[in-house]
Structures are given as structure tokens and as C-alpha cells.
Amino acid sequence: MLSLFQIRNDLKAIRYYYSHKDLFDNAFQETGVNDIISKVQIYNQMIKSASPKLYHVYVGLYLQGNTQESLAAELKYTPEYVQMLNKKLLKFLQENLECEKECV
């Protein structure tokens, strides 16, 4: 089972990737695919089965690079509610990533 610490680190790397996607896409021609691409694909596959709210939190925080506060303002939620949704997202990913390894 992946720890929540590892999932948080993966999500930080995914956020970094999306904030510098053009650089990664351009460098691909010279260096080949970076390992983060496979992580992005795994996490993006997992999020497809999430609830719409968790999906929106994932996209808003990790693909679009919003902070929890800015996402809360955009969605008209409290920052505490977005923080709670992010924790649910982490648990969802942990459970589904575990199942992917064991259920396959």
C-alpha cells in the first residue's frame, strides 16, 4: 500500500509536471520520456472513477496548479471544505492505487 506521504509526493510531482508541461513536451524530443509521465497516466486513470467533486479537486489543484484557497474561492467553498475534499482525494487514490496492484 502506498503511504499518504508517497501519494502527496507523487501529486507534487504531477503538479510540477503540469506547471512545466511545455518544457517536458519540448525536452521529450531530446531526452525521451521522463518517468513522471507514467505516474501522470496512472493517477489520471484512477481519477476517472472518482466522484465529480474529487475529480474537480484533482484537476483544480494538481493539473491547473491552484492553491486550496484559490480553488475554494473559485468553487465558492470554504478553504476547510477544499482541504477536507483533498484528504478524501488522497484516501481515494490510496485505496484505488492499492486495488490496481492487488486487483490486476
Give the domain ranges of the chain.
4-103
Q: What pTM, to 2 d.p., does this model score? A: 0.88
Query: Letter for the amino acid at 11?
Result: L
pLDDT tens by residue, 49-94: 999 999 999 999 999 999 999 999 999 999 999 999 999 999 999 9
Question: In 10 A of CB 23, how many CB atoms?
Answer: 10
Q: State the first-to-last Cα distance of the chain, in angstroms, to the nearest integer.
A: 14
What is the average pLDDT across 7-28?
93
Angular region, 3: left φ>0, alpha ψ -120 to 50, beta rest: beta
| DSSP type of residue 59 | I
Kindly state the percentage of the chain with pLDDT values over 70: 94
Torsion angle defined by CA atoms of residues 45, 46, 49 and 55, in that order, rounded to the nearest 10 degrees: -90
